[in-house]
Copies of this chain bind each other. A is one copy, B any other.
Amino acid sequence: MSAEDLRRRRTNVRANVRTVPGPCARWNDEDADFIREVLDLVGDKWSVLIIGTLADGPIRYSDLADAIPGISQRMLTLTLKHLRRTGLITRTSYPEVPPRVEYTLTELGTSLLSTVLALAAWSADHHGEIRRHQAAYDSANARQADER
């Protein structure tokens, strides 16, 4: 299945159902799965940060830890395993003393990175707007709480 198909397909499914009884369209299970798949991949706290760091070229475990403030060894190791299993990164260990291990972004990983960066860019672009909405929403809620 191709990229452009996704949007088209869901729209079609929706349209089909809508013409039958009324408004009650449902997600195609497969489409929902694709969303779950990416979220499972990049929806966690560290994956994107790691992938972004690897974008600058191969890097060692400890340098990775330094580059990503706040990550615990446990989470670093776990996330690296996860990314490796998915084929987004590769691990190369050099039999030296002291041991050296480098992590590298695969082509698959690079292709994902650019898509994810678009998301971060969206956030950067609309950050102000979002903050304004949140503030408005919160103050409206505070007023409601007062009235009670």
Contact = CB atoms under 8 A, between A and B. Distances in A.
Contact-residue bracket for chain A: 35 or more
Interface string A89-123: 00000000000000000001001100111111111
Contacts of A3: 118, 121-122, 124-125
A121 to B, nearest CB: 4
Specify the main secondary structure of chain A where it touches its partner: helix
Interface of A: 1-7, 10-11, 14, 18, 23-27, 29, 31-32, 34-39, 41-45, 48-49, 52-53, 56, 59-60, 63, 66-69, 84-87, 108, 111-112, 115-127, 129-130, 132-134, 137-138
A63 B21 CA distance: 12
Contact of A53 (B27, B84, B87, B138): B27
5 contacts: A5-B124, A6-B124, A27-B49, A108-B133, A112-B126
